[in-house]
Amino acid sequence: MLVVPGIELQKGRCVTLQRGRLDEPSIWHVDPVEKAREFSSAGASLLHVTDFDAVAGETPQNDLIESIIRSSETRVQVGGGIRTKERAAELIEMGAARVVMGTVAALQPQMVQELANTYPDQIILAVDIWQGGLMTEGWRTKAALAPEAMIEAYAATPLAAVVITDIDSDIENQDAQLGVISGLAGSAKCPVYARGTVHSIDDIARLKYIPGIEGALVCRALFDKSLDLIEAIEIAKPEPTTVADFQ
């Protein structure tokens, strides 16, 4: 299983949010570019960057995002407020390995499907779930579409992955609630990454055995030191297969 460290940006700072409240961020006094380098040095093969300024409809943090992409020695996927073909293309041209689309994927599926066909294996579908429903607009609006229907609508689309966020687990900081994510993972036709379910090394150990889950996105637990990235990557590795000795 792949462990993907996340860096969430607001006003040029590393932050994490509670309940998706953009006006009440937890601010981490570290340099985002240096943090990206640290995650790369720890062995991460993919980084996830979220631009909360773009989510809020403000000017995207392009200079900072580009610095992270260019200074990191690993691939970087970017999400947050990506609502147009032009914005997705801009980030890919900037060097983003993948872009993450959620709200627009629920509202304009044809546009996102066309984009995925233009950039195969570079578009990620974000499915954010709260109390069993699909949430959009940065977790602020409940969509009419069910999470299962959202994933089914993209079954034939060449997506890079689906990121499923269990908002209930993330905002309450409870033990990982894997039922919803594991159920949805079985219906996806591409790799599924779980988000919002990892708070400790035990959660990594549990997730790796859930069928269909190929990765875990982790942010807050890495910043508050509840989880060590090197240890998490090691735990997430597949167990060696026992080979019978026929001699």
Residues noted as catalytic: 8, 128
In whole angstroms, what is the distance from residue 235 CA to residue 233 CA? Answer: 6
